Amino acid sequence: MRAALLVALVAALVAPAAAPASQQHPTQNELESEIMCPVCGTTLDQSDSAVAQQMKMYIAARIHAGATKSQIEDALVAQFGEAVLAAPPKRGFNLIAWLLPLIGLLVAAPIVGWAAWRWSRARDSGPPVPPSRLDPDIERRIDSELAGYETS
């Protein structure tokens, strides 16, 4: 138990260190997967449009010049607008895009749990109902039809 706790603690301490390293030394692939092509609406790593090719060359030149991830993103946002970011910024009105799924999950999970609990209780309430008897005329007709198939 202590070993698992120690591993979790070390992982928690090491994981945040990756973000500043990525911020200071971004990779081409990382930025291309986070920037949208303004022409076709897909990420740069999926786009082959002329504008996407120019943006890829710009990103490569800025990385080679030593720019940080946020500097490159800010320059692209200044030129193309916030729609160029694949993920909306976590501020202002865009914060709704980040919080709404969490709020929906927090609201829906208890409702679904309650409905499942109630449904399982409704099935188990009371003795099973025996099947109803058929009308004697219909039962005789079915028996005669089945007898016709048995002789064939």
DSSP string of 87-130, one letter each residue: S--SSGGGHHHHHHHHHHHHHHHHHHHHHHHHHHHHHHSSPPPP
In 3-state terms, what secondary structure has residue 43? strand
* Structural domain range at position 62: 21-88
Query: Is residue 4 situated within a structural domain?
Result: no
User: Would you say residue 20 has pLDDT above 60?
Assistant: no
> 0.75 cut: is pTM over it?
no
SS3 for 26? coil
| 8 Å CB contact between 66 and 111 | no
Helix (H, G, I), strand (E, B) or coil at 66: coil
Contact assessment for residue 43 and residue 37, using Cβ atoms and an 8 Å cutoff: yes
What Cα–Cα distance (Å) separates residue 26 from each residue in 2, 29, 134?
36, 9, 76
Confidence of residue 15 (pLDDT cuts 50, 70, 90): low
122 lies in some domain: no
Q: Per residue in 71-112, pLDDT tens?
A: 999 898 898 888 888 877 677 777 787 788 899 999 999 999
Q: Convert the pLDDT of each residue in 110-130 to its tens digit.
A: 999 999 998 888 766 666 667
For the chain, the domain total comes to: 1
Judge whether 69 lies within some domain.
yes
**Does any domain span residue 72?**
yes
C-alpha–C-alpha distance, residues 100 and 85, integer Å: 19
Give me the chain's average pLDDT, please: 81
In whole angstroms, give the CA distance from residue 89 to residue 82: 8
Distance between CA atoms of 27 and 64, rounded to whole angstroms? 10
60 part of a folded domain: yes
pLDDT value of position 95: 79
3-state secondary structure of 45: helix
Task: Specify the CATH number for the domain of residue 47.
Answer: 1.10.8
Domain-located, residue 51: yes
Closest to 62 (Cα-Cα) out of 15, 36, 28: 28
pLDDT band at 28 (very low <50, low <70, confident <90, very high): confident
**Residue 70 lies inside a defined structural domain of this protein:** yes
Secondary structure class of 48 (helix, strand, coil): coil
Instruction: Tell me if 33 is assigned to some domain.
Output: yes
